[in-house]
Amino acid sequence: MMKKVTYIKCVVAAMLSFAATSCTKESSTPEEKFVDNFNALVMGGKTIDSHQDWNTVGSVAVTVSVDFGNTDEYTVYILQTPPLFDTNALWLGMAKVKGGESKTITIAKPANAGLLYAACYDSTGHAVCKPFPVKADDTVVAFSGKSPEAPSAFDSEDNPWNVETQELPDLTEYTTGTLVEATEQDTGISDEPLHFKVSSDYTGFIPSLGTYLNKSVYVTATWTLSFNQRVSAGNVIVVGEGGTINIPKEYTLTTSPFSSEGAGLIYVLPGGMITGDGTVEFTTNEGTYSYNGGIITAKNIQLKGCTLYNAGTVGDMSNPTSELTCIADASGVGQLINVGTAALAKMTGEELSIENAGILRVTGELVLNNSSKMDDGSYTECTALTLNGSSNGDKVLYMGNAAFLNCLGDISIDNFGVWGPSGDDYEANAVLKVKNCTNCTTTDGTPGTYLLDHVELIVPASFPTIFDKGAMNIYDGDVKGIGIGKLLESFSGYHNLRMLYYWLNGYEGKILDSSNYEWSLATGKYNYLWKSSINPGANDVDPSAQTCFYSTSPSFDYPSSDNFKKEVSGNTPENSYIFYAFETLDANTKDFDYDDVILRVNMPVDNGDGTFTSNVLITCVGNKTKTTVYYNGQPFGEEIHAAMGIDVNTTINTTNVSRSFRKMGELTFNTGNMRIDKLNFSIQAETAEGKLQEENQPSTLGTAPLYLVISGDTKGKWFWPTEGMNIGVAYPQFSVWASNLQTSVDWYDSSNASGNIVKY
């Protein structure tokens, strides 16, 4: 009868070997002795999980489809972390796919990784990326849309993003006929029609524009205000070619009425200008608008419940100093319709709305509190962007084909939607670029609070996240899932990740919620997988609207801005690895360090011709007898000592890596559905007595393993135990996982090691 043994994980391997002589029963075969010793020395009395296959890999099939409106070849990588944030991210699977086609591959993911990332690279290195949860069946990653190739004009009409073109009204009444010089105005003015002109330089003001009806002034010279100038009651200022209105500091030119008589109108024609350090304030009656076809560079530009239509230039394009502010009043939203160019130092206001069909640059903050538009091919740039919406989802920025919104700094999102082009007039993705996110609030079930419909969200590699430290992890009881995570508000990148997992595509954080994942069978292996009955998107969000991706650069250079340039070549990730760690049946050793033979196999590379290739390298030799690796019953590569260039009775890389890994051979598969965690490896080792002994992995689950199949960590590495160090001592959580494969699933990560491991 076997004596009761107290298993102490921290004892050294020599003590464990001594204990084995007194705690194992007599066994007739090497296999039986191996099992008895393993149970005593590694398991320490724990029962092996009946489903335990000694494999930390959970292979699943993923179908990758690409449709960007062309037949170019793309390379899609599947990873544990986004390669756009984790520059050291390694891929678990890859496929070369032509536009309009799809391909199914089997990826060798860690068994507890339920959330993965797909990155689609074009031939220039430009990439778009998206997260996706892995299901037991029918996992599909689809890349669709049309990356714009140039900011060319698109001719779509009657869409939510289209900006309606306005025509300049007939101004003949104000620019021809009998016009009185402003210098000749008298005090006997009534509401009878009277039209002034400034045809020579004039300093002063025209009181009747703000006090009587049917008045106008046509400016073709320089008019410098000497007092606050009001134009109201439907009266009109026309600044013609060669005309300039100069507003000194602390003075205001306004179309705002005194009371109920109605606002005035200002029309700046091509060649005309409004300038100065003062303020120009626009207020218009419903159904009317002020018009600029010239240049407005006044220091302060205010919109007070009105529409300013700009077909010319607002601000100094070389040195923007003008600030545009929307002032709330009972008349409603203040709107800038820009079909020309605008360059402002700041653009804010509670009731501000923009419709941009041209180029708009804001060197400071841009604040939107109302629904706005960006027409096809338009460009908007700002240093900081604040989107103040509503939980009822009625505040949306509509972006057209190849429209670009370039936020050079921080974005703050409060229940504000950004929707790209869709429907029959969709021709190219819109693009939103941001540097950092300081707030992101959404409302589940409300589409108008999300980023949806054919938008590429560009974020820099410096986007603050936790990915530079490896995959996101979630701790939920005994489940530690690599690739999923809860967000903590104290984390500096909290809102950045909320943008990606709540706002982007209307995910509403579902893919980060551990309750949406479960342990289930896939390809005969227990995996931590997405519950297929759950829609990954937020409630009431049409899945077809989830067409947003994120990337590190636009797909082309935007000529109007040095701040919007395509990367010459993006970083493409490298492949990850899995490890086969063997322990021989030598009954005299009993160290269970699983370093007698260690093979490293890279994830299969798609060669583009229907074949996939994996290289097999030997990383460590801990066995001191002649040993040969077999694959499918045939010798594979050289004898292991010869492969490493050492004598048969010596070891290498068992205490430190003193020799580079050596290639054993190459495996070529005729399908992308090959499971590289189930390669039919075995070894033939010479015993101490000089006999050849073939050693195979037991076919029965829950039996002591000849070898372990181990996922590489997020850096593609596994650090094996030092020579003679029991794996249960080197990795204290090993026996916990061995007894319950749903717990301590990442036992092999170096952060869980006792320190008795070989690092490299």
Sign of CA dihedral 460, 462, 464, 469: positive
Question: Is residue 491 assigned to a domain?
Answer: no
**Strand ranges (DSSP E) for 99-158?**
101-110, 115-121, 127-133, 139-144
Q: What is the pLDDT of residue 12?
A: 36
Find the range with the poorest average confidence among 125-129, 198-202, 475-479, 652-656: 475-479
Residue 304 contacts residue 282 (beta carbons within 8 Å): yes
Query: 241 vs 424, which has greater pLDDT?
Result: 241
- What count of other Cβ atoms lies within 10 Å of the Cβ of residue 63? 14
Q: What is the pLDDT of residue 481?
A: 56
Find the range with the poorest average confidence among 125-134, 358-367, 644-653: 125-134
Question: Is residue 694 assigned to a domain?
Answer: yes
The three-state (H, E, C) secondary structure of 458-505, written as one string: ECCCCCCCCHHHCCCEEEECCEEEECCCCCCCCCCCHHHHHHHHHHEC
Q: What is the pLDDT of residue 21?
A: 42
Place 329 in a pLDDT band, splitting at 50, 70 and 90. Answer: low
Q: What is the pLDDT of residue 567?
A: 65
Phi first, then psi, for residue 238 (nearest 5°) are -115, 120
Give the residue-averaged pLDDT of 171-187: 91
Place 476 in a pLDDT band, splitting at 50, 70 and 90. Answer: low
Q: What is the pLDDT of residue 169?
A: 93
DSSP annotation of 496: H
Phi first, then psi, for residue 516 (nearest 5°) are -90, 5
Residue 517 in tokens: 């994942």
Q: How far apart are alpha carbons 727 and 748 in whole angstroms?
A: 10
CA-wise closest residue to 734 among 175, 24, 46, 21 = 46
Amino acid (one-letter) located at 257: P
Q: What is the pLDDT of residue 711?
A: 95
Cα dihedral value 622, 627, 628, 630, nearest 10: -80
Residue 44 contacts residue 7 (beta carbons within 8 Å): yes
Question: Is residue 395 assigned to a domain?
Answer: no
Q: Which residues contact 618 (CB under 8 A, 6 or more apart)?
A: 597, 598, 599, 600, 629, 637, 640, 643, 644, 661, 662, 664
41 has a pLDDT exceeding 50:
yes
Q: What is the pLDDT of residue 699?
A: 80
Give the residue-averaged pLDDT of 212-218: 95
Bridge partners of 203?
224
Give the residue-averaged pLDDT of 575-600: 90
Q: Which residues contact 614 (CB under 8 A, 6 or more apart)?
A: 601, 602, 603, 604, 605, 666, 667, 669, 676
Give the residue-averaged pLDDT of 482-508: 81
Place 11 in a pLDDT band, splitting at 50, 70 and 90. Answer: very low
CA-wise closest residue to 675 among 566, 578, 759, 752 = 578
54 has a pLDDT exceeding 60:
yes
Give the residue-averaged pLDDT of 717-721: 97
What DSSP string describes 691-745? -EEEE---SSTTS--SEEEEE--TTS---PBPTT--HHHHSTTHHHHHH-TTSST
Find the range with the poorest average confidence among 225-239, 442-456, 486-500: 486-500
Place 742 in a pLDDT band, splitting at 50, 70 and 90. Answer: confident
Phi first, then psi, for residue 102 (nearest 5°) are -140, 165
Query: 168 vs 525, which has greater pLDDT?
Result: 168
Give the residue-averaged pLDDT of 305-315: 95
Query: 600 vs 87, which has greater pLDDT?
Result: 600
Strands 430-433 and 473-476: unpaired
Query: 757 vs 462, which has greater pLDDT?
Result: 757
Q: How far apart are alpha carbons 615 and 612 in whole angstroms?
A: 10
Q: How far apart are alpha carbons 108 and 678 in whole angstroms?
A: 10
Query: 414 vs 558, which has greater pLDDT?
Result: 414
Residue 92 contacts residue 79 (beta carbons within 8 Å): yes
Q: What is the pLDDT of residue 532?
A: 86
* Residue the block writes with tokens 């908007």: 380
Phi first, then psi, for residue 522 (nearest 5°) are -145, 125
Q: How far apart are alpha carbons 132 and 141 in whole angstroms?
A: 7
Question: Is residue 220 assigned to a domain?
Answer: no
* Apex 400 CA angle, 425 and 452, nearest 5: 95
Q: Which residues contact 533 (CB under 8 A, 6 or more apart)?
A: none
- Rg value, the chain, Cα: 35
Residue 48 contacts residue 123 (beta carbons within 8 Å): no
- What count of other Cβ atoms lies within 10 Å of the Cβ of residue 441? 16
55 has a pLDDT exceeding 70:
yes
Max mean pLDDT among 149-158, 516-525, 676-685 falls in 676-685
Give the residue-averaged pLDDT of 745-753: 90
Give the residue-averaged pLDDT of 229-255: 96
pTM above 0.75, yes or no: yes
Find the range with the poorest average confidence among 186-195, 384-393, 536-545: 186-195
Amino acid (one-letter) located at 416: F
260 has a pLDDT exceeding 80:
no
Query: 690 vs 611, which has greater pLDDT?
Result: 611
Could you read off the pLDDT of 105-138 as tens digits, one per residue?
A: 999 999 888 899 999 998 888 889 999 999 998 9
740 has a pLDDT exceeding 70:
yes
Question: Is residue 673 assigned to a domain?
Answer: yes
Give the residue-averaged pLDDT of 67-76: 93
Give the residue-averaged pLDDT of 446-463: 91
Q: What is the pLDDT of residue 473?
A: 52
618 has a pLDDT exceeding 50:
yes
Number of independent structural domains in the chain: 1
Q: What is the pLDDT of residue 470?
A: 52
Q: How far apart are alpha carbons 413 and 442 in whole angstroms?
A: 8
Sign of CA dihedral 381, 387, 392, 395: negative
170 has a pLDDT exceeding 60:
yes
CA-wise closest residue to 249 among 281, 269, 215, 226 = 226
Question: Is residue 684 assigned to a domain?
Answer: yes
Residue 294, classed as helix, strand or coil, is: coil
Give the residue-averaged pLDDT of 402-412: 94
4 has a pLDDT exceeding 70:
no
Share in percent of the chain as helix, strand, coil (round to 5): 10, 35, 50
CA-wise closest residue to 235 among 271, 272, 263 = 263
Give the residue-averaged pLDDT of 565-574: 72
Query: 39 is in which domain, residue-wise?
Result: 13-45+575-752
Strands 681-686 and 692-695: antiparallel
Q: What is the pLDDT of residue 569?
A: 60
Give the residue-averaged pLDDT of 575-603: 91
Question: Is residue 686 assigned to a domain?
Answer: yes
Place 469 in a pLDDT band, splitting at 50, 70 and 90. Answer: low
Q: How far apart are alpha carbons 434 and 442 in whole angstroms?
A: 18
Q: How far apart are alpha carbons 500 and 506 in whole angstroms?
A: 9
Give the residue-averaged pLDDT of 337-346: 96
What DSSP string describes 642-700? HHHT--TT--BSSSS--S--EEEEEEEESSTT--GGG--EEEEEE-TTS-EEEE---SS
CA-wise closest residue to 307 among 331, 274, 343 = 331
Residues of the chain with pLDDT > 70: what percent?
A: 90
Find the range with the poorest average confidence among 456-460, 492-496, 633-637: 492-496
10 has a pLDDT exceeding 50:
no
Query: 285 vs 231, which has greater pLDDT?
Result: 231
Q: How far apart are alpha carbons 604 and 35 in whole angstroms?
A: 33
Place 156 in a pLDDT band, splitting at 50, 70 and 90. Answer: confident
Question: Is residue 689 assigned to a domain?
Answer: yes
Query: 83 vs 750, which has greater pLDDT?
Result: 750
Find the range with the poorest average confidence among 17-26, 75-84, 354-363, 595-604: 17-26
CA-wise closest residue to 346 among 326, 370, 322, 314 = 322
Max mean pLDDT among 237-251, 282-296, 473-487, 524-538 falls in 237-251
Q: How far apart are alpha carbons 7 and 46 in whole angstroms?
A: 10
Q: What is the pLDDT of residue 150?
A: 67
Phi first, then psi, for residue 415 (nearest 5°) are 50, 50
Q: How far apart are alpha carbons 682 and 165 in whole angstroms?
A: 74
